């Protein structure tokens, strides 16, 4: 049988644990080709360039 908790966790302790479970805003960097904001280390959704090269073809 798996072990079970002996006592219930208080809501304050539960809230402290869940305080770190939040969504962060994604980081955006300007594209080196068209200067539109894009996610880092990804192909630009506006022009299709990544690291100075066209990735559409």
Provide the token pair at 14.
Answer: 């539960």
Could you give the CA distance from residue 55 to residue 32 in angstroms, rounded to a whole number? 14
Q: Could you give the angle at the alpha carbon of 46 between the alpha carbons of 42 and 52, nearest 5°?
A: 55
Q: How confident is the model at residue 7 (pLDDT cuts 50, 70, 90)?
A: very high
Could you give the CA distance from residue 35 to residue 40 in angstroms, rounded to a whole number? 13
Could you give the CA distance from residue 29 to residue 23 in angstroms, rounded to a whole number? 19
pLDDT tens digits, one per residue of 29-47: 999 999 999 999 999 999 9
Q: Is the pLDDT of residue 57 over 80?
A: no
12 φ, ψ (degrees, to nearest 5): -65, -45
pTM, rounded to two decimals = 0.58
């Amino acid at each position: 049988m798996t072990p079970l908790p002996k006592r219930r966790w208080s809501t304050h302790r539960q809230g402290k644990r869940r305080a770190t479970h939040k969504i962060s805003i994604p980081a955006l960097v300007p594209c080196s080709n068209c200067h539109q904001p894009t996610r880092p280390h990804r192909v630009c959704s506006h022009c299709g360039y990544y690291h100075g090269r066209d990735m559409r073809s």
